[in-house]
Amino acid sequence: MARILVVDDEISLTEVISAYLINSGYFVDVANDGRSALELLDSRDYDLVVLDLMLPDIQGEEIIKIIRQKSKVPVIMLTAKTDEDDMVTGLKLGADDYVTKPFSVKVLLARIESVLRRAKDDSPKTSILSVGDIEIDFSKGVVHKNKEHISLTPTEFKLLSTLASNPGKTFTREELLKEIWGIDSDLKTRVLDVTVKNIRKKIGDVKKPYRYIHTDFGKGYRFEVID
């Protein structure tokens, strides 16, 4: 069963979350500040991190930066911030999803299960897909461009592999939100757009006209190699 690290300075909240996750079959560690969280992350491997952005010592955004320097472990942000820009900032730094406080622990569990499913990669039968100078290894969950490794979060990998596995097909934003973030997702389409922008930057597809991921205005996105 997956091991989860819960990071939040509200002790009563971490106790509730921890008890609920343990009852659901997960192994759980808890940190009530940023330094303790980083120490735990250095000492053992986790399948997912639930991270509050408002910590007393180190801001959650800074912890995400540190995590992404050495790991692709999925991160779900807990935030009391209602400004969408703050949430987008966390996603740009490499978070996979977010839950806004106050929240139902059942909702958090559903998000955790959804993110863990993405991390396990329910990929198509073809184990390796080569498109242009990009190679997607579904069995290993890795991407290479010109044989150089491209570090993607599980969410970014899932989105890229979904698009690339269906070349020429335009996915609506609604279809992608359901496929990548789950049917019950309340994420706005801007989050999808930010994730696409992150992928484009990482694969070097940043100048228009794009070579790989194309925007069909008023519809959604499609993957097609344009030389």
For the chain, which residues make up each domain, given as ranges? 3-120, 128-223
Q: How far apart are CA 47 and CA 111, in angstroms?
A: 14
The reply to whether CATH 3.40.640.10 applies to domain 3-120 is no
Q: What is the mean pLDDT of residues 217-221?
A: 89
Arithmetic mean of pLDDT, 59-82? 87
The model's pLDDT over 130-183, given as tens digits with 9 standing for 90+, comes to 888 899 988 778 899 988 999 898 889 989 999 998 888 999 988 888 888 775
pLDDT at residue 51, rounded to an integer = 96
pLDDT at residue 124 in the model:
47
Contact 54, 8 (CB under 8 A): no
142 token code pair: 């890795």
Mean of pLDDT over the chain: 87
Phi, psi of 205 (to 5 degrees): -110, 65
Retrieve residue 21's tokens: 């996750």
Kindly tell me if the per-residue pLDDT of 29 is higher than 50: yes
Instruction: Reply yes or no on whether the pLDDT at 83 is more than 80.
Output: no
Using CB atoms within 10 Å of the CB of residue 192, give its burial: 0 to 12 exposed, 13 to 18 middle, 19+ buried. Answer: buried
Indicate the range of 2-11, 14-23, 99-108, 118-127 predicted with least confidence. Answer: 118-127
pTM for this prediction: 0.68
For 128-223, CATH number?
Answer: 1.10.10.10
Which residues contact residue 109 at a Cβ distance below 8 angstroms, ignoring those fewer than 6 apart?
Answer: 20, 21, 24
Among 51, 54, 107, smallest CA distance to 80 is for: 54
Length of the chain: 227
Rounded to whole angstroms, what are the CA distances from 33 to 10, 91, 138?
A: 10, 21, 36
Whole-number Cα distances in Å, 170 to 9, 81, 202, 223: 43, 33, 21, 8
